[in-house]
């Protein structure tokens, strides 16, 4: 790698400062990456646990719906009586500068009582309603976690790229520049020292001749 820098003490000081900043930046990025990875792994474990729950919940809910359809006829008209869910709210939290979504379901009075008649339905409909409400809540939770994992993964990739650029490009470049300037200044000092020695010897020789 060609070093293009004028070998002066000022440039040496500036390059050393840049090198120190680059090393500090790498340490911070490495720390950020590790924190994000730990956060992502925790969420992945949580997502796996919810995925197992949601698979079973969907299966149980659809079995309950089939039973309700068989015992009550198709439940499309009954389902139309259930209000559309509009209590989902989106917020966020920050993890090392990464915005992580927080999804919450607002407690609604719509689900504190039945919206369909009990004369024309039976307990199979109630069970299906309860189980699909559970599915809905698990789906919201899983969506929050999967979106969080995706955002963390994107940020980890960017952080890794920046850290690699500092470690493999910028830091070696600054180190090479520091070495180049230091060697050049040392060589200049040696030349100056040799020149002064020659001058001193000449003066001593001239003084001896005059005596």
- Answer yes or no: are the C-beta atoms of 171 and 22 closer than 8 Å: yes
> How does DSSP classify residue 110?
G
- Answer yes or no: are the C-beta atoms of 130 and 82 closer than 8 Å: no
Range list of H helices, the chain:
9-72, 76-80, 123-165, 171-210
Query: For residues 145 and 98, what is the distance between their CA atoms, to the nearest angstrom?
Result: 14
pLDDT in tens, the chain (211 residues): 545 678 888 888 999 999 999 999 999 999 999 999 999 999 999 999 998 899 899 999 999 989 888 887 777 777 776 777 777 888 999 998 999 999 988 776 555 556 666 666 778 888 888 898 889 889 999 999 999 999 999 999 999 999 999 999 999 999 999 999 998 888 887 777 677 777 776 666 666 666 5
Structure tokens at 11: 């440039």
């Amino acid at each position: 790698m060609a070093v293009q820098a004028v070998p002066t003490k000022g440039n040496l000081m500036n390059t050393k400062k840049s090198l120190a900043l680059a090393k500090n930046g790498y340490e911070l990025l490495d720390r950020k990456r590790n924190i994000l990875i730990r956060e992502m792994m925790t969420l992945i474990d949580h997502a796996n646990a919810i995925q197992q729950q949601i698979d079973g919940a969907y299966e149980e809910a659809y079995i309950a719906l089939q039973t309700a359809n068989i015992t009550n006829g198709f439940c499309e008209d009954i389902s139309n009586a259930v209000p559309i869910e509009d209590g989902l709210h989106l917020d966020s939290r920050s993890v090392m500068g990464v915005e992580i979504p927080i999804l919450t379901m607002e407690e609604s009075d719509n689900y504190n009582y039945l919206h369909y008649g009990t004369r024309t339905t039976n307990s199979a409909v109630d069970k299906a309603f309860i189980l699909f409400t559970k599915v809905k809540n698990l789906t919201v939770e899983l969506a929050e976690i999967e979106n969080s994992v995706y955002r963390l993964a994107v940020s980890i990739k960017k952080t890794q790229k920046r850290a690699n650029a500092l470690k493999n490009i910028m830091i070696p470049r600054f180190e090479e520049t520091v070495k180049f300037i230091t060697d050049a200044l040392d060589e200049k000092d040696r030349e100056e020292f040799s020149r002064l020695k020659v001058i001193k010897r000449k003066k001593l020789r001239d003084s001896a001749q005059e005596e």
